[in-house]
């Protein structure tokens, strides 16, 4: 079998951080299993996080009204993107799995990682207007969010003060990763390591190491299959009437996003499931988030 490649997109400014330790565990464990591991250490690289005309070499199509997605798409087609973007494209192209390792900032990615997403997951390279979600251009690759929180797990439960972590994860996993076609693996969440005891932090890393040993064989998180939607402008790209009718009698909605005004299916963004596959049953796990 050909050697598998894992790309780690790492965003933390301190080499002494728990995120650095989690990144190091991943590098060591995966390398020991024979994987090729590539790390993009965004802070060490001084990765530029904001889009600009400098991302495209040569003349712009419309310098008077700079529209980044359009100009970057043209730049990708004509091989005129900046060298740093092209370097990251080469890494992504090699990768069978991408791990995003980061501290959760304001319920999202750190700015430097968000900038990587905006600049590197370029239209034409990661998606097109016709190739999104199930048919996204990264559909043969897996991706996983591995992150630390500042608060304990209880604050991210459905009745916690920070709200259901599944809701927080939906725009990150569905709106970014699934949109580009990635097969999204369940997130690795390190709950409040900064306030945990040394033994608890060590246990978190041991659990991560154990998971890494079978990571690429894991099942993916479930999203609503494109087959369940009428993908036409006239229909508004909405769930087919028969799907909505099927869920009328069910206790939960289809996904965190397509909830249909019902309670969210438990663990929809935090556990692997086939519940949103049109050929699978619609049973949902009631496991604790």
Q: Is the pLDDT of residue 288 over 50?
A: no
Whether 160 and 154 have beta carbons less than 8 Å apart is answered as yes
Stronger pLDDT, 277 or 130, i.e. the higher one = 130
Q: How do residues 241-260 score in pLDDT, each as one tens digit?
A: 999 999 999 999 999 999 99
**Residue percentage of the chain with pLDDT more than 90:** 91
Query: Angle at Cα 123 formed by Cα 117 and Cα 125, nearest 5°?
Result: 85
Question: What secondary structure letter does DSSP report for 232?
Answer: S
Report the pLDDT value the prediction gives residue 280, as an integer from 0 to 100. 44
Compute how many other C-beta atoms are within 10 angstroms of the C-beta atom of residue 56: 23
Q: How do residues 103-140 score in pLDDT, each as one tens digit?
A: 999 999 999 999 999 999 999 999 999 999 999 999 99
pLDDT band at 169 (very low <50, low <70, confident <90, very high): very high
pLDDT band at 273 (very low <50, low <70, confident <90, very high): confident
Phi and psi based region of residue 233 (left: phi greater than 0; alpha: psi -120 to 50; beta: remaining): alpha
Whether 11 and 47 have beta carbons less than 8 Å apart is answered as no
**Residue percentage of the chain with pLDDT more than 70:** 94
CA atoms within 13 A on the CB side of 276: 29
Stronger pLDDT, 2 or 44, i.e. the higher one = 44
Q: What tokens were used for 196?
A: 């945990």
Q: What is the CATH number of domain 5-217?
A: 3.40.50.360
CATH 3.40.50.360 in the chain, residues? Answer: 5-217
């Amino acid at each position: 079998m050909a050697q598998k490649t894992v790309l780690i997109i790492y965003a933390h400014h301190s080499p002494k951080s728990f995120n650095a330790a989690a990144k190091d565990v991943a590098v060591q464990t995966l390398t020991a299993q024979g994987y090729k591991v590539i790390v993009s250490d965004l802070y060490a690289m001084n990765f530029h996080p904001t889009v600009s005309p400098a991302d495209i070499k040569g003349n712009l199509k419309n310098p008077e009204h700079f529209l980044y997605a359009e100009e970057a798409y043209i730049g990708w087609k004509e091989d005129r993107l900046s060298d740093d973007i092209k370097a990251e494209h080469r890494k992504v192209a090699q990768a069978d799995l991408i791990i995003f390792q980061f501290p959760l900032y304001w319920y999202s990615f750190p700015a430097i990682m968000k900038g990587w997403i905006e600049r590197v997951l370029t239209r034409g390279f990661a998606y097109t207007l016709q190739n999104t979600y199930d048919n996204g251009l990264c559909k043969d690759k897996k991706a996983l969010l591995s992150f630390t929180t500042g608060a304990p797990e209880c604050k991210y439960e459905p009745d916690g003060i920070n709200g259901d972590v599944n809701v927080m994860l939906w725009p990150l996993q569905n709106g970014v990763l699934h949109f580009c076609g990635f097969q999204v693996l369940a997130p690795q969440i390190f709950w409040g390591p900064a306030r945990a005891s040394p033994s608890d932090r060590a246990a978190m890393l041991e659990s991560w190491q154990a998971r890494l040993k079978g990571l690429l064989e894991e099942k993916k998180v479930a999203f609503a299959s494109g087959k369940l939607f009428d993908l036409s402008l006239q229909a508004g790209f909405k769930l087919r009437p028969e799907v909505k009718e099927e869920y009328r009698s069910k206790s939960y909605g289809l996904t965190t996003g397509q909830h249909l005004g019902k309670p969210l299916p438990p663990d929809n963004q935090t556990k692997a499931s086939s519940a949103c596959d049109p050929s699978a049953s619609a049973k949902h796990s009631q496991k604790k988030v």
